[in-house]
Amino acid sequence: MGKKTKRGPLTWIERLRPVPETRATIAVYTIVRLLVIAIMIHAIIEGNYENMFTCILTLILLMLPVLVEHKFGIDIPSALEITLVLFIFAAEILGEMQSYYVNVPHWDTILHTISGFIYAAVGFAMVDILNKNKRISFNLSPLCLAFVAFCFSMTIGALWEIFEFSIDTLFNKDMQKDTIVHHITSVMLDPTRSNIPITISGINEVYLNGEALGLGGYLDIGLIDTMKDLIVNLIGAVVFSIIGYFHVKNRGKSKIAKMFVPVVLDPQEHSTESVTETMKATEDKPTGSDMPDTEKTDQTKIDNKATVDKEE
């Protein structure tokens, strides 16, 4: 009698997912989580509890895609989910803990572009859920759906900049990174106070209390960084809105759109219970070599009887 091989019990994460993960998603999740845990252990050994809490926050954020899929009954495509996971790692671990925001040129710009893309995907999925809900009289055209996704992304981007400004003001932080500029224009420089903008060019150094700051220019306090973040957020939002528009317009036939547009699932076909039962049934179903001898004999008799009946 052959030995029956069974898969281990489903983890609680697998039970939450309405659709099983792809191998690529599992690999990315595993690698990122192991890296975060290793960094957290190192932070604990070094006594750096701020970094430890950042790692804990990162692990919690990595659970968001699973919770969103479970709560709203949607399937986040593998490409979008991997992008989201890598974004969280790049922002929290590399950006904050490893100081990539300061040491790697345009790191903040790249992440804000990606965040605009992700925010638009979230907004698109939320409206699409309402669009397909039979109990709600809510039906938007592809253009309106894309526009709402774009507006949602820009709103979240603006709220994030307000959050950064608030943290900097209340807690003396520097989330809105400063920029070195070599000319400034302001009506505050007008001695006549006639609201005339005055420009000072060729600024190569700034002195504070008689001492040079050594910056090589004038220090802009966060304004340029904020506007740049909003502009690249806009670019990311536009890119996803275009993808979402053609996804709805072509009834989901676009291969590129399928990689990034979340899909609203049928609650009956893709409920957590039905997926779990299907996976268990597949795992527990015995093959011919796994069946006991008595069951094999009974099955053989049934097959033989069916053959005789068919010949008669």
Q: What is the pLDDT of residues 94-126, one digit of tens each?
A: 999 999 999 999 999 999 999 999 999 999 988
Answer whether residue 189 shows pLDDT above 70: yes
Helical segments of the chain, H only: 12-16, 23-46, 49-61, 64-72, 78-88, 100-103, 107-131, 142-171, 223-249, 255-260, 272-284, 293-311
pLDDT tens-digit map of 11-45: 555 565 666 778 899 999 999 999 999 999 999 99
pLDDT, position 132: 73
Nearest to 264 by CA among 23, 19, 25: 19
pLDDT, position 235: 97
Report how far apart, in Å, the C-alpha atoms of 50 and of each of 108, 160, 240 are.
Answer: 21, 22, 35
- pLDDT winner (highest mean) among 71-75, 146-150, 274-278: 146-150
pLDDT tens-digit map of 158-170: 999 999 999 999 9
pTM of the predicted protein model: 0.77
| Residue pointed to by tokens 């999925």 | 125
